[in-house]
Amino acid sequence: MSTTATIEPLPGFQSREAATFIAQLDDQSRRLALATRDLTPEELGWQPRPGMNTIGMLMTHLAIVEVWWTAIATGYDTKEGERWLGIGNDDDGMPLAEDGVAPAGLKGKDLAYYDALLLQARKFVKDQLVSLPEAEMERVIERTRDDGTKRLCTVRWILYHILEHFAGHFGQILLLRHLYRVERVPASV
């Protein structure tokens, strides 16, 4: 017996490409949800050592970045996260200083808190992309970085970046889960 792995574009989107991107991002979110259902507030806030991210920080960062890059792609102010998520763009605490600890605002937060952030971010992304015309994928956006340099990127690249960013940090979350378990298993005699 064989099975077929596939990703189908979501219905209702003007752009088939945007609909496929959302389907891919939704699949990554589904996988993240499966991998994190038993997280406790302790594990969400656990830091292997100062200067390293927590799972809670990474989940918050995923939500902030989805809204931030989508706002850039669709012409909104990048502070939309504050309105949509109820937190600011820097409330994930990232990047941490070498000896930094997780932000106090995330201390003791449970999985429901992070799930809600991620759902709100995805709602913003879907709401902005559902009416995006296919031709917009080629639109070039010029961004000025903090150091004054210019960067050009297409809407297509921004959507790709959101997906690869999510997948990369999902991998970090899985690694932190592994390290957390290893730290708590007694050494063999």
CATH number of the domain residue 89 falls in: 1.20.120.450
Beta bridge partners of 66: none
pLDDT score, position 188 = 61
pLDDT 10s digits, 124-149? 999 999 999 999 999 999 998 889 99
Q: What is the pLDDT of residues 50-109, one digit of tens each?
A: 999 999 999 999 999 999 999 999 998 888 778 889 999 999 999 999 999 999 999 999
Specify the number of domains making up the chain: 1
Are the C-beta atoms of residues 161 and 62 closer than 8 Å to each other?
Answer: no
Give pLDDT, residue 14: 97
The structure tokens listed for 19 are 């609909």
Distances in whole angstroms, Cα of residue 165 to Cα of each of 5, 49, 64, 187: 22, 23, 12, 35
- Does residue 160 form part of some domain? yes
Q: What is the pTM of this model?
A: 0.93
Position 102 in a domain: yes
Q: Is residue 188 part of a domain?
A: no
